[in-house]
């Protein structure tokens, strides 16, 4: 049987030493959640001289950040026009301009903090699984090109060559995309935050926040910490530490596998430019290389194990569909993680009480956007005005029927996968111009 094990644990450099929080402490800011968002926030605050503590219930990178596909996919599913309609012109303009620079900003950070995380910025292929999906990508292309995104259309033959199979007939190439080893990046941020003066505590679950005069007191398993400001960066692993926050996202699941290293011949065929790929399926397929030339392939899962409800079978058949050249390759491991999905698939920055902020809901596009969120949370603490931030500061607004939807989540992956198979079969029956090489 294929072992269930997070591949990134095997290849990430070690984290800094962190203790459990014991006794009663004080800080200016306490951040709850030591993933990419919390740690990037901590770097900016500590560099600005703010006394900052970060707590995680588990280990640094325990959540999505240490399980991620690590693909930097630097635009939204929404078009700029949709963002304008949703947020209003000025807010949308700030969000769009931050979006256009987010990938370069991430790779700049990696160089600035000298983080050894196998970062490569070779581009991202966004591939259409049907002709209808190709029409959607064409609209996305035209609208994002118009605002300055570095994006191009790949014809059928270019798509076949860059993917390394004829699984897709149309794709976009996003020049700014790339990949990182996500746990190594998270640990690199932890080192940088600690070097800047932040205090990091692991195995320290935070309980509810209590107001004590002008301050907040967070009780933990072995002590407490009192701070002027509390920042919640717990994303899809959010428990009941702040009323309603957990209900703003559905915890969807993503599952991944790591193959054995590909031979030079296989590498010359499969994603030969070492770009990342993700497609337009509901149960999205995504893939990338790691630094050891293994292919990491992922899709949607059902819970915290990749094995549930046919997950491993779905991973294998997905990989064989997209990359038939890999049908006999060995699989080293599979794993699962949670994705915090909001109703409109856009992240949320909340300020639910004086001195409390939250940044959550990256909806599967967190690798670069968690850094944007981290810098924004820090800017807000440092006195930044809401009108200068890329994300609107909104009320906590639970998803209607959250408890029921949550119970249905495990069934979503198999049902989305069935719908995808039906739409691909239908597409084969219906000829379309998107299949032409023009």
Ligand X SMILES: Cc1cc2nc3c(=O)[nH]c(=O)nc-3n(C[C@H](O)[C@H](O)[C@H](O)COP(=O)(O)OP(=O)(O)OC[C@H]3O[C@@H](n4cnc5c(N)ncnc54)[C@H](O)[C@@H]3O)c2cc1C
d(CA 435, CA 437): 6
Task: Count how many Cα atoms sit within 13 Å of the Cα of residue 411 in the half-sphere of its side chain.
Answer: 5
Closest approach, Cβ 430 to ligand X, in A, equals 31
Among residues 18, 30, 45, 56, which is the contact residue for ligand X, using CB under 6 A? Answer: 56
Residue 241 binds ligand X (CB under 6 A) = yes
Residue 72 · residue 362 · CB < 8 Å: no
**Burial tier of 263 (Cβ tally within 10 Å: 0-12, 13-18, 19+):** exposed
Phi, psi of 108 (to 5 degrees): -65, -45
Residue 287 · residue 254 · CB < 8 Å: no
Both tokens of 412, joined, read 């979503």
Among residues 58, 175, 304, 332, which is the contact residue for ligand X, using CB under 6 A? Answer: 58
Residue 294 · residue 262 · CB < 8 Å: yes
Q: Considering only 13-21, 62-70, 136-144, 190-198, which stretch makes contact with ligand X by CB under 6 A?
A: 62-70
Closest approach, Cβ 305 to ligand X, in A, equals 12
Query: Closest residue to ligand X, Cβ-based?
Result: 366
Residue 69 binds ligand X (CB under 6 A) = yes
Q: Considering only 11-19, 56-64, 79-87, 418-426, which stretch makes contact with ligand X by CB under 6 A?
A: 56-64
Residue 167 binds ligand X (CB under 6 A) = no
Residue 202 binds ligand X (CB under 6 A) = no
354 DSSP 8-state letter: T
d(CA 438, CA 7): 40
Residues between 79 and 118 that touch ligand X (CB under 6 A): none
Closest approach, Cβ 236 to ligand X, in A, equals 6
Residue 15 binds ligand X (CB under 6 A) = no
Residue 423 binds ligand X (CB under 6 A) = no
Residues between 282 and 301 that touch ligand X (CB under 6 A): 286, 298
Residue 252 binds ligand X (CB under 6 A) = no
Contact track, ligand X, 206-235, x by CB under 6 A:
x--------------------------xxx
Among residues 173, 174, 246, 338, which is the contact residue for ligand X, using CB under 6 A? Answer: 338
Element (H, E) at 98: helix 89-112
d(CA 413, CA 311): 8
User: Which residue's CB is nearer to ligand X, number 3 or number 383?
Assistant: 3
Residue 30 · residue 218 · CB < 8 Å: yes
Q: Considering only 111-119, 131-139, 265-273, 337-345, which stretch makes contact with ligand X by CB under 6 A?
A: 337-345
**Residues whose CB falls within 8 Å of the CB of residue 153, separated by 6 or more in sequence, listed in order:** 138, 141, 170, 171, 172, 173
Task: Count how many Cα atoms sit within 13 Å of the Cα of residue 357 in the half-sphere of its side chain.
Answer: 27
**Residues whose CB falls within 8 Å of the CB of residue 179, separated by 6 or more in sequence, listed in order:** 69, 70, 71, 72, 118, 119, 120, 276, 288, 289
User: Which residue's CB is nearer to ligand X, number 99 or number 233?
Assistant: 233
d(CA 410, CA 7): 23
The three-state secondary structure class of 63 is coil
d(CA 178, CA 411): 31
Among residues 44, 65, 143, 159, which is the contact residue for ligand X, using CB under 6 A? Answer: 65
Q: 230 - beta bridge partners?
A: 30, 356
Among residues 5, 108, 239, 388, which is the contact residue for ligand X, using CB under 6 A? Answer: 239
Q: How many chain residues interact with ligand X (CB under 6 A)?
A: 44
Residue 38 binds ligand X (CB under 6 A) = yes
The three-state secondary structure class of 113 is coil
Q: Considering only 158-166, 316-324, 332-340, 380-388, which stretch makes contact with ligand X by CB under 6 A?
A: 332-340
Q: Which of 137, 117, 118 is nearest to 185 (CA)?
A: 117
Residue 181 binds ligand X (CB under 6 A) = no
User: Which residue's CB is nearer to ligand X, number 141 or number 201?
Assistant: 201
Phi, psi of 334 (to 5 degrees): -130, 160
Closest approach, Cβ 320 to ligand X, in A, equals 20
Residue 366 binds ligand X (CB under 6 A) = yes
344 DSSP 8-state letter: T
Among residues 151, 225, 339, 396, which is the contact residue for ligand X, using CB under 6 A? Answer: 339
Closest approach, Cβ 335 to ligand X, in A, equals 7
Among residues 6, 12, 33, 322, which is the contact residue for ligand X, using CB under 6 A? Answer: 33
Residues in contact with ligand X by the rule CB under 6 A: 32-38, 55-58, 62-65, 67-71, 73, 205-206, 233-239, 241, 254, 256, 286, 298, 337-339, 362, 364-367, 370
């Amino acid at each position: 049987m294929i072992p269930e094990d997070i591949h990134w644990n095997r290849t990430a450099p070690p984290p800094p030493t962190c203790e459990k929080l014991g006794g009663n402490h004080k800080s200016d800011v306490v951040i709850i959640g030591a993933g990419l968002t919390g740690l990037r926030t901590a770097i900016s605050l500590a560099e600005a001289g703010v006394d900052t503590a970060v707590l995680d219930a588990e280990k640094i990178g325990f959540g999505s950040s240490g399980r991620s596909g690590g693909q930097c996919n630097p635009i939204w599913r929404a078009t700029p026009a949709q963002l304008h309609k949703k947020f209003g012109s000025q807010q949308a303009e700030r969000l769009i301009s931050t979006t256009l620079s987010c990938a370069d900003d991430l790779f700049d950070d990696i160089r600035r903090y000298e983080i050894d995380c196998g970062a490569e910025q070779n581009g991202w292929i966004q591939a259409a699984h049907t002709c209808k999906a190709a029409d959607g990508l064409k609209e996305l292309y035209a609208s994002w090109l118009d605002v300055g995104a570095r994006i191009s259309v790949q014809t059928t033959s270019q798509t076949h060559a860059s993917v390394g199979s004829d699984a897709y007939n149309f794709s976009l190439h996003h020049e700014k995309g790339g990949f990182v080893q996500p746990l190594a990046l998270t640990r690199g941020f932890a080192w940088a935050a600690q070097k800047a003066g932040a205090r990091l505590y692991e195995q320290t679950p935070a309980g509810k926040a209590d107001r004590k005069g002008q301050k907040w007191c967070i009780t933990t398993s072995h002590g407490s910490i009192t701070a002027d400001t509390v920042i919640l960066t717990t994303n899809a692993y959010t428990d009941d530490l702040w009323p309603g926050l957990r209900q703003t996202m559905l915890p969807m699941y993503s599952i991944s596998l790591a193959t054995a290293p590909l031979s030079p011949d296989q590498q010359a065929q499969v994603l030969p430019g070492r770009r990342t790929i993700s497609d337009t399926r509901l149960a999205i397929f995504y893939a990338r290389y790691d630094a050891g030339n293994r292919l990491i392939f992922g899709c949607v899962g059902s819970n915290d194990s990749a094995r549930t409800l046919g997950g491993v079978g779905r991973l294998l058949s997905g990989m064989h569909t997209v990359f038939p050249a890999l049908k006999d390759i060995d699989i080293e491991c599979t794993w699962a993680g949670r994705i915090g999905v909001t109703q409109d698939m856009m992240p949320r920055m909340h300020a639910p009480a004086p001195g409390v902020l939250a940044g959550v809901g990256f909806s599967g596009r967190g690798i670069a956007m968690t850094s944007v969120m981290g810098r924004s949370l820090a800017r807000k603490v440092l006195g930044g005005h809401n009108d200068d931030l890329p994300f609107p500061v909104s009320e906590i607004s639970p998803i209607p029927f959250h408890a029921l939807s949550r119970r249905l989540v495990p069934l979503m992956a198999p049902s989305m996968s069935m719908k995808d198979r039906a739409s691909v079969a239908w597409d084969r029956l219906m000829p379309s111009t998107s299949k032409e090489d023009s």
